[in-house]
Amino acid sequence: MEDTSSFAIRMEGITKRFPGVVANNSIDFAVRQGEIHALLGENGAGKTTLMKILAGLYQPDEGQIWIDGRAASVHSPRDAIDLGIGMIHQHFMLVESHTVAENIILGLDVPRFVLNLEKVEREIAKLADQYHLLVDPGARIWQLSVGEQQRIEILKALYRGARILVMDEPTAVLTPQEAKQLFNTLRSMVAEGHTVVFISHKLGEVMSVADRITVLRRGEVEATVQASETSRQDLARMMVGREVLFRVGKRESEPGDVVLEIDGLGALNDKGLEALRDVSLTVRHGEILGVAGVAGNGQRELAEAIVGLRPVTRGQIRVDGEGVTNRTPREVMDRGVAYIPADRIGSGLVVNLSVAENLILKCYRDPPICNWFFLDGDAISGHAQELVRAYDVMTPGIETRTRLLSGGNLQKLILAREISSKPALMVSVYPTRGLDVGATEAVRRLLLEQRDAGGGILLISEDLDELLSMSDRIAVLYEGRIMGIVESQEARVEALGLMMAGTAPEEDGGE
């Protein structure tokens, strides 16, 4: 038996039910003092729920918690802080108009007049230095990048005396370099005797940063393993419950004529600020052009400008040689452009319509679906049944409201509808975000098949592994500009990361 007093965290028999789902089912989870322990699992596996219970944000229906060997009752975030537990959430909770130092002391039980802000700033600077957390204590939150805001959340937790730090999917918003920097910080924290729980669904980073790994699947613990004694393949199998193929079989591409040509494009974001600056690129038939970048650098605006959903302030867009700049979405679609939006439920599908109805949203004006202004019911259901089968959409039936389908099946439904319209160009934004490994594989395979059938694809993604394995070339967007376009076979993660952070690639005398 292991000496249980060496556990910083011990959770036993934790069960948490939400309406219709058991998010945590009798979970046993133990983290040793001074280790980095990864909590790995697919979307919906129950990771966040388990850690919110530890942080006092949820109460478990059943189960016991021990902190540092002592039975603990964590009924509120306040209790968690008193026990030395700090959690950094996926969405930060900082006050935009306050300074770094003000945010860090916010909510502390210290009367304001006692506070010596200069002293606080000095202490923060010392902590920042100790843990390699580069920040300016006097800066205001709105001036900071997402990576900096995350460092402030960490400082805030440390300043409040957290010895156990829980980070929920911290690298989702970071460039590869920032992620590396974060890992250094985590390592220096455990070297000082802190304990870290690191939530992730990314196998590579879990393998590189964690001492031990607990895999959750469907609300249950699959296993706890030593990182040095496992492999990506093993972890993937535990996470998904079956063998996983990492490489989507990808053929050599055979690029044809240019399908999309963008020249000097400018566009504004929703706040009326410049979101795209002089963007030029091309996509060929039979080619996937990946677009990399930290979210919020113009990706969404680029996709919307192409498909006619956002006005273009300057520049030109041509599809198969024909100008489509500032045309309506309908006109752009009629030129053979399909759109797989990031937001499946808002703009991809009408959730209150049935599967069959959603599948004809694009072709309801054409025969055989519509003849002489009448919708043909048999043709509609035949069409729907065929697509549901061909694209392996799991649905009780074609009359089912789409609202009831899972994320992966919603995405397959959108792809079925878009690909069956035989588009010349597909603009695909974060197509696998939030999907489980199985659905991700299926979606990637469908996109590659579309490419091999001669379609051009603009693939916007925040997952570099996805871009490297899917794309033929990769363009990097930073603050609305293209920092560079590279062949994906020659692309290196470090080089892409530098461009994502705004550093132009080194001149190699090319072009």
Ligand X SMILES: Nc1ncnc2c1ncn2[C@@H]1O[C@H](COP(=O)(O)OP(=O)(O)O)[C@@H](O)[C@H]1O
**Least Cβ distance, residue 29 to ligand X (angstroms):** 13
Stretch touching ligand X by CB under 6 A, among 17-25, 305-313, 339-347, 469-477: 17-25
Give CA–CA dist 355/396, Å, rounded: 10
CA distance 483 to 465: 19
Residue 504 interacts, among Mg ion, ligand X, none and using kind-specific CB cut-offs from 5 to 8 Å, with: none
Residue 201 phi/psi, 5-degree rounding, is -120, 10
SS3 147: helix
CB of 459 to ligand X, least distance (A): 24
110 binds, among Mg ion, ligand X, none (CB under 5 to 8 A by kind): none
- For Mg ion, the binding residue among 24, 25, 48, 432 (CB under 5 A) is 48
User: What does the CA dihedral 140, 145, 146, 152 come to, rounded to 10 degrees?
Assistant: -40
| Rounded alpha-carbon distances, angstroms, from residue 450 to 282, 344, 418, 447 | 18, 20, 10, 5
Burial of 310 per CB tally in 10 Å (0-12, 13-18, 19+) = buried
Whole-number minimum distance, CB 199 to Mg ion, in Å?
A: 6
- Least distance from ligand X to the Cβ atom of residue 189, Å: 22
Residue 41 interacts with ligand X (CB under 6 A): yes or no: yes
Q: Which residue is nearest to Mg ion (CB)?
A: 48
Question: Out of ligand X, Mg ion, none, which partner does residue 43 contact, by CB within 5 to 8 A per kind?
Answer: ligand X
Q: Is 200 in the site for Mg ion (CB under 5 A)?
A: no
- Reading phi first (left if > 0) and then psi (alpha if -120 to 50, else beta), residue 318 is in beta
Given a contact cutoff of 8 angstroms between Cβ atoms, the answer to whether 103 and 156 are in contact is yes
Identity (one letter) of the amino acid at 498?
Answer: L
Identify the CA nearest to 279 among candidates 297, 291, 262: 262
Give the footprint of Mg ion on residues 222-251 (CB under 5 A): none
Q: Which of 44, 147, 308, 348 binds ligand X (CB under 6 A)?
A: 44
Report how far residue 436's alpha carbon sits from residue 442's, in angstroms, rounded to the nearest whole number: 10
Assess 45 for contact with ligand X (CB under 6 A): yes
Minimum CB separation of residue 47 from Mg ion in Å reads: 5
Which of 43, 188, 381, 420 is the binder for ligand X (CB under 6 A)?
A: 43
Q: Give how many residues touch ligand X by CB under 6 A.
A: 11
Nearest Cα neighbor of 157 from 57, 72, 55 is: 55
DSSP H or E run through 303: helix 299-307
CB of 335 vs ligand X, minimal distance in Å:
39
Give the binding range for ligand X (CB under 6 A) out of 38-46, 175-183, 356-364, 490-498: 38-46
Q: State which H helix or E strand residue 198 sits in.
A: strand 195-200
Q: Which amino acid, 81?
A: I
Among 10, 37, 47, 383, binds ligand X (CB under 6 A): 47
Largest CA distance in the chain: 79
By CB under 6 A, tell whether 38 contacts ligand X: no
Span of 46-54, 171-179, 271-279, 398-406 interacting with ligand X by CB under 6 A: 46-54
Q: Closest distance between ligand X and the C-beta of residue 68, in Å?
A: 25
For ligand X, which is the closer residue by CB, 63 or 308? 63
Q: Which of 36, 37, 49, 408 binds ligand X (CB under 6 A)?
A: 49
Cα end-to-end span (Å), the chain: 65
Q: In sequence order, which residues have a C-beta less than 8 Å from that of residue 334 and are 6 or more positions away?
A: none
Whose Cβ is closer to ligand X: residue 218's or residue 237's? 218
Q: With contact defined as beta carbons under 8 Å apart, do 29 and 14 qualify? A: yes
- 24 sits near Mg ion (criterion: CB under 5 A): no
Place of tokens 């402030």: 152
Q: Output the smallest distance, CB 246 to ligand X, in A.
A: 21
Which range, of 39-47, 285-293, 319-327, 482-490, touches ligand X by CB under 6 A?
A: 39-47
d(CA 99, CA 448): 47
Instruction: Give me the DSSP letters along 319-330.
Output: ETTEE-TT--HH
CB 188 → Mg ion: shortest distance, Å?
26
Which residues lie below 8 Å from residue 111, measured CB to CB, with a gap of 6+? none
Among residues 25, 48, 200, 395, which is the contact residue for ligand X, using CB under 6 A? 48
How many residues touch Mg ion (CB under 5 A)?
A: 1
CB 243 within 8 A of CB 237: yes
21 binds ligand X (CB under 6 A): yes
Nearer to Mg ion, 48 or 299 (CB): 48
Rounded to a whole number of angstroms, the minimum distance from the CB of residue 48 to Mg ion is 3
Positions that interact with ligand X (CB under 6 A): 18, 21, 23, 41, 43-49
Positions that interact with Mg ion (CB under 5 A): 48
